[in-house]
Amino acid sequence: MAEYRRILLDGFAVQTIRHGETLVAPDGREVAIADAIHLPPSEPTKIIAVHLNYDSRTKEFMTKLPAAPTYFHKPITALNSHLGSIVRPQGCKWLNYEGEIVIVIGKTCRNISPAEAGDYIAGYTIGNDYGLHDFRDTDAGSMLRVKGSDTLAPVGPGLITDWDFRGKQIRTLVNGVVKQDDNTSNMEWDMHYLVADIARTITLVPGDILFSGTPANSRPVEPGDVVEVEVEVVVVVGTALHTAEAVGVRISGTTSTEG
C-alpha cells in the first residue's frame, strides 16, 4: 500500500510518493507536505456519483433503496483540490457538504464483473460531493447545478493504492466538530459493484473518478466554515508507518461568497 499525491512543483504537475511528512518526486526532489500545493490526484474525463448508498442516509430520507444504484454526473469544471475554496454563489443559502470515498480508475474499463473491478481501480481518495440545494427543485432530474457548479467536487489529497475499503470508518467534520460518522460496511453497493455497474454501458478511462455515496447528516455550511473529510486508513511507505484512523487522508474546503 502506498500514498501518491499530485502537486504543483516548479510550475509543473508532478506525481509524488509520500514518505512520512515529505513528498518525493520521481527525480528525487523533496517537498514537505505542509509546503506542497496540492492538485486533484487524477485528471478525470468524467466525474460520476451515486445517489443513495449508505443505510443511514436512506433511513434519514425515510425511503427505500432502489433495486439498483442511480447516478448523476458532475462536470469536470466542478473539480477542486485539497485545501481549495468552495464558492457559494451570491443569493444561494443551501450549500451542503457530503463526505465520500472516491474511486479512481486506473485502466480502461468496460463490460467487467464486480469480481474483476479491483484490477481496474488505480486507488482511492477522499471527496466532498457539495451541493447547492437552492436548485434542488428546478434541477431535480439532472442535479446539474445542484452538484455540478464550479468548485463543488474537491478530491484528494492522496491516492491510496491496494487499500481494502471494507469495514472502514468515514467522518465529516465542520470546524472540527464531527457531523457525519459511518462505516463502509453500511453501504448497500460496494466499490467494485459500482465500477462494474457503470462500466456496463459507459467506458471508464484512467483518471475517471466515482463518488461512492455519503452517510446521513448532510447539512448546509456558511462562508468561513472549514469542512474536513476523514477516512480510516493505514499506509505503509518505505520504512514509515502512517496510522490514520482519526485523521486519515483529508480534504479541506472553505466556503466563501462569490464576489
Distance separating alpha carbons of residues 86 and 227, to the nearest angstrom: 10
Between 22-31, 47-56, 119-128, 135-144, the lowest mean confidence (pLDDT) is in 135-144
What band does 140 get if pLDDT is binned at 50, 70 and 90?
confident
Cell digits for 181? 460518522
The contacts found for 201-205 with CB under 8 angstroms, 24 or more apart, are 202/46, 202/48, 203/108, 203/109, 203/110, 204/46, 204/105, 204/108, 204/109, 204/110, 204/120, 205/45, 205/105, 205/108, 205/109
How many CB atoms lie under 10 A from the CB of residue 162? 12
User: Helices then strands (H, E): number in the chain?
Assistant: 4, 22
Distance separating alpha carbons of residues 129 and 98, to the nearest angstrom: 5
Shortest CA distance to 205 belongs to which of 191, 195, 190, 193? 195
- Residue 234's pLDDT is what? 55
Residue 211 near residue 148 (C-beta atoms within 8 A): no
Q: Say if residue 157 is preceded by a cis peptide, omega within 30 of 0.
A: yes
Q: For each of the domains in the chain, give its residue range(s) and CATH number, in order of start.
A: 42-257 (3.90.850.10)
Distance separating alpha carbons of residues 121 and 116, to the nearest angstrom: 10
What band does 125 get if pLDDT is binned at 50, 70 and 90?
very high
Mean pLDDT of 113-119: 98
Half-sphere exposure of 141 (CA within 13 A, CB side): 0
What's the pLDDT tens digit per position in 35-68?
Answer: 999 999 999 999 999 999 999 999 999 999 889 9
Shortest CA distance to 249 belongs to which of 120, 185, 158, 145? 158
What's the pLDDT tens digit per position in 193-250?
Answer: 999 999 999 999 999 999 999 999 999 998 888 899 989 875 444 433 333 332 333 3
DSSP state of 184: G
